[in-house]
Amino acid sequence: MTSAQTNARALMIQGTGSNVGKSMLVAGLCRAAHLRGLSVAPFKPQNMSNNAAVTADGGEIGRAQALQAIACGRELSVHMNPVLLKPESDRGSQVIVQGQVRGWLEARRFREDRGVLLDVVLDSFHRLAQTADLILVEGAGSPAEVNLRRGDIANMGFACAADVPVILAGDIDRGGVIAQIVGTRTVMSDEDVAQVVGFVVNKFRGDVSLFEDGYRAIEDHTGWTGYGVLPWFDAAHLLPAEDAVDLSEASGGQGFHIACPMLSRIANFDDLDPLKAEPNIRLTMVPPGQALPGDADLIVLPGTKSTRADLAFLRAQGWDIDILAHLRRGGRVLGICGGYQMLGTRIDDPQGLEGDAGSTPGLGLLDVTTTMQPRKTLTRVDAVHVPTGMGFDGYEIHIGQTSGPDAMRPFARIGDVPDGAISGNGRVMGTYLHGLFANGGFRQAFLAQMGHASGGADYTRTVERTLNELAAHMEQHLDIDGLLAAARPIKV
């Protein structure tokens, strides 16, 4: 990329481990800075997630960066997450580079080769820097993983290469936060330690004054500046989650019961977040080893990064038998993306795009077949739900083409193009469209078909309100002025 002048500054949030709240901290800081009138952009050099969002220019980025972009009041860009790894098995992942599929790499080979992507990461970082006053960067995993430091592009490797100051976040809810932060400093090299300018303690429950001595101990042992202790944010569940570890087994609602099996490669499960937020809906995420609940009104088969492998996983749990029993009781089934493909009679993958080449019998609940094809569909759409005539917006992110007799009864239409399929009795439905339940009018009409009254709340407004509450929460408990002042001018 050609060098250019920028007045942008940058600050990076890294964590003492995975799931310590880095994504939420960055989202809240993005919204706080945005409310102060700054032009802000989120950035994550490398992400690993099967929960992705589609950008306006037909690329894909991690869901956390999409939420952070919303917090910034900014359109999604592939440069916000230039390297995205989408695990397809325990051995390797699909590699997305600046929004597009670059290929597939084994985990060991990626650890060896990832350093070659640093130029791509820096290119995207500097492109963003030309569009904003402030870049807020999220790390991945932890800088304490010093065995992965060589060739690192996600944490200190990026921070040192781009000269971005780092705030280290610890999670007191999981215990041992003093050891988390002090121990991380102990194992890091002097060069990496020099990039860290301070720390925050996240997810505190109870009386914060009880931790004053612990907080001072961290400052004394590290020499870093403390920027505050952030109490637990109760409304976090109203924001889209990126990691499957964040999935709860059930929402707190009552009434209409929706069950969703937690597939081993579950993807884009934030499709269900608007349903989870409904007060009169009970959403149960069913973990492996448990039967699908017999009192469910609707079973949703979610997206997956590896359809045939997850179909085998579903059968190994006995969930196929549970689904048949559910239908015999008069229940309904909705398959989204990979879940839709599973509902058909057969899934063909002649080129081995998602594993070994071959064919797998589907659940046989829709008379359609799917053939996996190399070209990946990545697009935002405006659609109409055929049974109700209700319009909604969503997005497609899949490989594979599905056709068959039941596709003559489409779930939706995108202009003149049909999408999905519905069984003859109307109780089994499939669609390739993600994000549909975020549309309050569609959600209300869809549930009304099943005899359930929904308030049709505007989920977009819920997310915006929650981001504002998160920013206010952080303003109250953290030194936001100090954090923003710690950002350093970006060198180009």
Catalytic annotation, pick one of 34, 337, 385, 398:
337
- Greatest CA span in the chain, whole angstroms? 70
Which amino acid, one-letter code, is at 481?
Answer: D
For 137, the token pair is 């960067």
Q: Which pLDDT belongs to residue 3?
A: 47
Q: How far is the C-alpha of 308 from the C-alpha of 356, rounded, in Å?
A: 10
Contact 443, 433 (CB under 8 A): no
d(CA 304, CA 51): 9
- Rounded alpha-carbon distances, angstroms, from residue 179 to 19, 142, 263, 274, 472: 17, 14, 34, 38, 29
DSSP string, 116-144: GGHHHHHHHHHHHHTS-SEEEEE--S-TT
pLDDT (0 to 100) of residue 244? 54
The CA–CA distances, whole Å, from 400 to 344, 420, 432 equal 13, 12, 10
Q: What is the pLDDT of residue 412?
A: 98
299 contacts 326 by C-beta, under 8 angstroms: yes
Closest CA to 477 of 230, 232, 235: 230
Active-site annotation holds for 72: no
DSSP lists the bridge partners of residue 50 as none
φ/ψ (deg, to 5) at 49: -165, 145
For each of the chain's 492 residues, which pLDDT tens digit applies? 444 567 899 999 999 999 999 999 999 999 999 999 999 999 999 998 888 999 988 899 999 999 999 999 999 999 999 999 988 766 678 889 999 988 777 656 655 566 679 999 999 999 999 999 999 999 998 999 999 898 899 999 999 999 999 999 999 999 999 999 999 999 999 999 999 999 999 999 999 999 999 999 999 999 999 999 999 999 998 898 766 545 554 455 678 999 999 999 998 989 999 998 888 899 999 999 999 999 999 999 999 989 999 999 999 999 999 999 999 999 999 999 999 999 999 999 999 988 889 999 999 999 999 999 988 999 999 999 999 999 999 999 999 999 999 999 999 999 999 999 999 999 999 999 999 999 999 999 999 999 998 876 789 999 999 999 999 999 999 999 999 999 999 987
How many whole angstroms separate alpha carbon 90 and alpha carbon 295?
A: 34
Q: Residues 146, 192: contact at Cβ < 8 Å?
A: no
- Give the residue carrying structure tokens 């590290």: 222
Nearest to 337 by CA among 383, 313, 308, 304: 304
Nearest CA-CA partner of 423 in 316, 295, 323, 285: 323
SS3 assignment for 169-180: EEEHHHCCHHHH
| CA separation for the pair 137, 140 (Å, rounded) | 10
Secondary structure (DSSP) of 335-401: EETHHHHHHSSEEEETT-TTSSSEEEE---SSS-EEE--SSPEEEEEEEEETTTTEEEEEEEEE--E
Look up residue 330 and give its two tokens: 């008069």
CB neighbour list of residue 251: distance below 8 Å, 6 or more residues apart: 275, 276, 277, 281, 282, 283, 284
> If you compute the radius of gyration of the chain from its CA atoms, what whole number of angstroms results?
23
Contact 211, 217 (CB under 8 A): no
φ, ψ at 309 (rounded to 5°): -65, -40
∠ CA 117-123-126 to the nearest 5 degrees? 140
Distance CA 370, CA 380 (A): 21
Nearest to residue 76, comparing CAs of 61, 90, 86, 92?
61
CA 42 – CA 376 distance, rounded (Å):
26
Choice among 79, 126, 257, 434 that is catalytic: 434
